[in-house]
Amino acid sequence: MKTKLHLLFGGKSAEHKVSMQTAKAVMNAVDQSIYEVHPIYIDQEGSWNKGPVLEGKVDDVHALAFQGEKNTVSPLAISERAVKGKELDSAQVNEVVFPLLHGPNGEDGTVQGLLEILGLPYVGNGVLASSAGMDKIAMKAIFEQAGLTQVKYVGFIRKDWEEQAERVMSKIETDIGYPCFVKPANLGSSVGISKCKNQEQLKEAVKEALRYDRKIIVEEGVNAREIEIGVIGNDELECSVVGEIVPKTEFYDYQSKYEDEDTGLIIPCELPNEIYEQIKDIAKRAYKSLDCSGLARMDFFLTKDNEILINEVNTMPGFTPYSMFPLLWKHSGLEYPALINKLVELAIEKHQEKLKISYTMD
């Protein structure tokens, strides 16, 4: 009997297009002899639309935008079992949800909370890790508590900027200086990110970032190599080889990630074994500090003095043809279809672990 695999993609997010590309790549890699694939497209207004069971390859990503009354479903109708309110027990785990959503309303713990309530096994991180990993300010606070070394940063909200912009700019210039990077706190894929070399650029960058979030983070710019590593697992963790990003632009922006085919990705990159082992150790510590499960991509800066600075975690990294995460695992000996299988296995393992928890006093 095939395992039902419900793929959630699209989403009400500025990263909608990235999610669509991720979904296409996963659909073309998944082993259809093992899985019965059910695509569920969430449009940019937040409506859920269920498409036909996948058969064959997907050539055009636009064909995945299932819309119309006949396709629209309630989020509660992901599966018949969810509708009936019957949680999957350990012997009946024959369906798994794979949220291929990036950014708010999908990667930030919202969908994960829904799936928890429905009692469905799902790939990837839970509510806490997803929400903390999405919010860069919360993430950095947790990393700081765990004793992990990071770049300097300042966080603030829209109201702070509207009422005390001069004070906020003064703090940024005093604590961080230039160059610095301005980012929406709750977004990924380099959307809304700007590099600033002076106050005028800083003002414009904050204006741009506030288009996407009410919460902004400003980070110190450092002269360092950009190193990334993949982690998979629940309680027992495995790390991939490390990769290095060598963008042709001034920094690794949205276009470099998803539109330019000539951005340099060196996999595996050249590192002393001692540094590689340190990065693996820090990646695992960061993963556990957020209570991650399933998968994550950990991003680092490596300075000329070999100081390792953790930059951030991505709890649902991209799976597009140019994405680092699947490429890291491919070079670690885990091909794309096998990687999907492993993530589904981890989802089932996590679900079975939850079934050991008692919710009554009897």
- Burial (CB count within 10 angstroms: exposed 0-12, middle 13-18, buried 19+), residue 242: buried
Rounded CA separation 133/137 (Å): 9
Which residue among the candidates 19, 289, 323, 332 is catalytic per the annotation? 323
Looking at the chain, list the stretches that DSSP marks H as alpha helix, in order from N- to C-terminal side. 16-29, 80-84, 110-118, 127-134, 136-145, 158-175, 199-209, 254-258, 273-289, 324-330, 336-354
Rounded CA separation 284/275 (Å): 14
Rounded CA separation 182/173 (Å): 13
Q: Are 310 and 148 in contact (CB under 8 A)?
A: yes
**Cβ-defined contacts of 159-168 (< 8 Å, 24+):** 161/206, 161/210, 161/216, 165/203
DSSP string, 236-249: SEEEEEEEEEE-SS
Is 226 assigned a ligand-binding role in the annotation?
A: yes
Is 182 assigned a ligand-binding role in the annotation?
A: yes
Sign, CA dihedral 207-208-214-220, equals negative
Which residue in this structure is represented by tokens 């800066």?
A: 301
Q: Are 126 and 291 in contact (CB under 8 A)?
A: yes
Is 312 assigned a ligand-binding role in the annotation?
A: yes
Is 222 assigned a ligand-binding role in the annotation?
A: yes
Query: Is 250 in the active site?
Result: no
Query: Is 15 in the active site?
Result: yes
Is 242 assigned a ligand-binding role in the annotation?
A: no
Query: Is 323 in the active site?
Result: yes
Is 277 assigned a ligand-binding role in the annotation?
A: no
What are the residues facing 239 on neighbouring strands? 231
Is 219 assigned a ligand-binding role in the annotation?
A: yes
Which residue among the candidates 13, 15, 130, 332 is catalytic per the annotation? 15
Is 127 assigned a ligand-binding role in the annotation?
A: no
Which residue among the candidates 79, 189, 194, 332 is catalytic per the annotation? 189
Is 190 assigned a ligand-binding role in the annotation?
A: yes
Is 181 assigned a ligand-binding role in the annotation?
A: yes
Is 223 assigned a ligand-binding role in the annotation?
A: yes
Is 71 assigned a ligand-binding role in the annotation?
A: no
State the catalytic residues. 15, 189, 323
Give the residue ranges of the annotated binding site.
Answer: 136, 181-183, 189-190, 219-226, 299, 311-312, 314
Give the residue ranges of the annotated binding site for Mg(2+).
Answer: 299, 312, 314
Give the residue ranges of the annotated binding site for ATP.
Answer: 136, 181-183, 189-190, 219-226, 311-312
